[in-house]
Amino acid sequence: MLFFVCVGLCAVGSAFIVLLPTVGQTLSVVWAVVFGEQALAKARGRRPASDQDDHSTDLTQLDPTN
């Protein structure tokens, strides 16, 4: 039981000390890459690769009576 308590405390400690700060860094890097790519595409006059296509369908297209 003592072994599992020690391993569990080490896991929680490493999560807060090591992993938690890297989450913020990772999100900021992803944000910078996406917005940098959008700004570069806009400057070149192209459509950004990070734009999402609208795949929603009109419900009247699914109606068999039309």
User: What's the average pLDDT block by block, 10 residues per block, for the chain (66 residues)?
Assistant: 90 85 89 92 87 66 58
Residues 6+ apart with CB under 8 A from 66: 60
d(CA 57, CA 66): 15
pLDDT at 39: 92
The predicted model scores a pTM of 0.52
Question: Is there a contact between 50 and 38 (Cβ–Cβ < 8 Å)?
Answer: yes
pLDDT at 16: 85
pLDDT at 64: 59
d(CA 38, CA 42): 6
